């Protein structure tokens, strides 16, 4: 199996790092629109830098695509039309219509189309899915500092889409209503968003995403009958709180389970999964359809969001306000 990497920026170079030493593949080389970047990464990992996309694709059975989001569709469509299997970093495309076209081309050509929602390969998430049983309420917070590299998209497509994909994989019910509010703080796109999603079966999910927070805080909590799951994405930790019996008189009636989690690199596991799916023809854990569904929900949030720009506020004159008696 001959594989290459298209786009070797911040994330794509890590694709190269894992694939050059992965068993069962012949790493052909890489391509980047910046030839100096391509040459640097090729030298670092002792591989070949192709200076045209066409030349790399012509020599590959499969590729991973880590170019900027606005060019996902153009690059992936070219590769799929050349009968090359693709792993495309999230979000799959910038529109649902583009995602549908990629899925259609892949299906017609019998190709694997996988989407890089890496959190699905987080060992804590993998373990959590074993305990999920008809969630009633889900609460998610994904906060972190601003990264100029992704200024071309807002926080919904940059951060929140990870959790939308995970929630859809757990709930498996149609969305019947959603509400969202967001604000522009430091970029031309939404930098902070809160969304509430209501599902047909009654489950409700509350999500908060921000890229104006100095420290990373990434947690998901799942509440369901007789148990509560608490997961920390960054720490890769999971706790399950379960009621021991039918009656609860005190906290002693709660059992706390801390599953022992595997330790592995989630990106390496994701890439290995892609390779195995190409070899076996097995549908990926995160298929093109999953990527489209997460994108579709993200676009609905953006469409329905009440967006507020945060101006430089004028000082508030509080001199006339009377002090509050304690």
**Are 131 and 109 part of one and the same domain?**
no
- Are 138 and 231 spatial neighbours (Cβ–Cβ below 8 Å)? no
Residues 6+ apart with CB under 8 A from 161: 90, 91, 117, 294, 295, 298
List the Cα angle 135/89/134 in 5-degree steps: 5
Residues 6+ apart with CB under 8 A from 206: 137, 138, 139, 140, 194, 195, 196
In a domain, 315, yes or no: no
- Are 133 and 113 spatial neighbours (Cβ–Cβ below 8 Å)? no
pLDDT value at position 271?
98
**Are 102 and 32 part of one and the same domain?**
yes
In a domain, 324, yes or no: no
72-81 helix and 96-109 helix, angle to the nearest 10 degrees: 10
Length of the chain, in residues: 326
How far is it, in rounded angstroms, from Cα 65 to Cα 72? 7
**Are 47 and 177 part of one and the same domain?**
no
How is residue 258 annotated by DSSP?
Answer: -
**Are 23 and 171 part of one and the same domain?**
no
In a domain, 320, yes or no: no
3-state secondary structure of 177: strand
**Are 244 and 174 part of one and the same domain?**
yes
In a domain, 321, yes or no: no
How is residue 81 annotated by DSSP?
Answer: H
**Are 130 and 254 part of one and the same domain?**
yes
Q: Where are the alpha helices (DSSP H) in the chain?
A: 12-19, 35-44, 53-58, 72-81, 96-109, 123-128, 155, 161-171, 266-280, 288-304
The CATH number that applies at residue 256 is 3.30.360.10
Q: Which residues pair with 27 in a beta bridge?
A: 3
Domain count along the chain: 2
- Are 30 and 4 spatial neighbours (Cβ–Cβ below 8 Å)? yes
How far is it, in rounded angstroms, from Cα 69 to Cα 286? 18
In a domain, 317, yes or no: no
Per-residue pLDDT of the chain (326 residues; tens, 9 = 90+): 999 999 999 999 999 999 999 999 999 999 999 999 999 999 999 999 999 999 999 999 999 999 999 999 999 999 999 999 999 999 999 999 999 999 999 999 999 999 999 999 999 999 999 999 999 999 999 999 988 888 788 999 999 999 999 999 999 999 999 999 999 898 888 999 999 999 999 999 999 999 998 889 999 999 999 899 999 998 999 999 987 766 666 667 788 999 999 999 999 999 999 999 999 999 999 999 999 999 999 999 999 887 655 555 555 455 544 544 43
109: domain range? Answer: 2-117+268-287
The CATH number that applies at residue 275 is 3.40.50.720
In a domain, 319, yes or no: no
**Are 49 and 125 part of one and the same domain?**
no
In a domain, 318, yes or no: no
Q: Map tokens 């390496």 to a residue.
A: 268
3-state secondary structure of 48: coil
**Are 248 and 159 part of one and the same domain?**
yes
The pairing of strands 204-210 and 137-143 is parallel
3-state secondary structure of 194: strand
**Are 304 and 156 part of one and the same domain?**
yes
What is the spatial order of strands in the sheet that 49-50 belongs to?
49-50, 26-31, 2-6, 62-65, 85-89, 113-116
**Are 178 and 213 part of one and the same domain?**
yes
How is residue 320 annotated by DSSP?
Answer: T
How far is it, in rounded angstroms, from Cα 63 to Cα 17? 14
**Are 157 and 247 part of one and the same domain?**
yes
Q: Map tokens 């929140």 to a residue.
A: 160
Q: Map tokens 């592995």 to a residue.
A: 264
**Are 301 and 166 part of one and the same domain?**
yes
How is residue 24 annotated by DSSP?
Answer: T
In a domain, 316, yes or no: no
- Are 232 and 124 spatial neighbours (Cβ–Cβ below 8 Å)? yes
């Amino acid at each position: 199996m001959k594989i290459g990497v298209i786009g070797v920026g911040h994330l794509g170079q890590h694709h190269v790092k894992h694939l050059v030493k992965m068993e069962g593949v012949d790493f052909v080389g890489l391509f980047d629109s910046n030839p100096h970047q391509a040459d640097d990464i090729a030298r670092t990992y002792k591989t070949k830098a192709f200076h045209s996309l066409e030349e790399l694709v012509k020599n590959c059975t499969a590729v991973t695509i880590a170019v900027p989001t606005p060019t996902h569709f153009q690059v992936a469509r070219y590769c799929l039309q050349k009968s090359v299997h693709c792993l495309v970093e999230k979000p799959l495309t910038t529109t649902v219509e583009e995602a549908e076209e990629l899925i259609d081309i892949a299906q017609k050509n019998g190709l694997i189309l996988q989407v890089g929602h890496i959190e699905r390969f987080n060992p804590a998430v993998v373990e959590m899915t074993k305990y999920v049983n008809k969630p009633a309420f889900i609460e998610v917070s994904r906060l972190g500092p601003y990264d100029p590299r992704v200024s071309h998209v807002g926080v919904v497509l940059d951060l929140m889409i990870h959790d939308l994909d995970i929630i859809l994989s757990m709930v498996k019910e149609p969305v019947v209503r959603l509400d969202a509010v967001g604000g522009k703080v430091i970029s031309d796109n939404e930098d902070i968003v809160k969304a509430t999603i209501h599902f047909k079966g009654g489950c409700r999910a509350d999500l908060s995403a921000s890229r104006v927070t100095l420290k990373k805080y990434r947690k998901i909590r799942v509440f369901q009958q007789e148990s509560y799951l608490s997961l920390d994405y960054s720490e890769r930790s999971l706790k399950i709180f379960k009621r021991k019996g039918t009656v609860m008189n005190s906290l002693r009636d709660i059992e706390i389970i801390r599953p022992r989690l595997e330790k592995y690199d989630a990106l390496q596991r994701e890439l290995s999964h892609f390779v195995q799916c190409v070899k076996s023809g097995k549908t990926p854990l995160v298929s093109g359809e999953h990527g489209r569904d997460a994108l579709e929900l993200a676009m609905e949030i953006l469409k329905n969001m009440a967006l507020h720009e945060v101006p430089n506020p004028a000082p508030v004159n509080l001199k006339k306000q009377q002090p509050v008696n304690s």
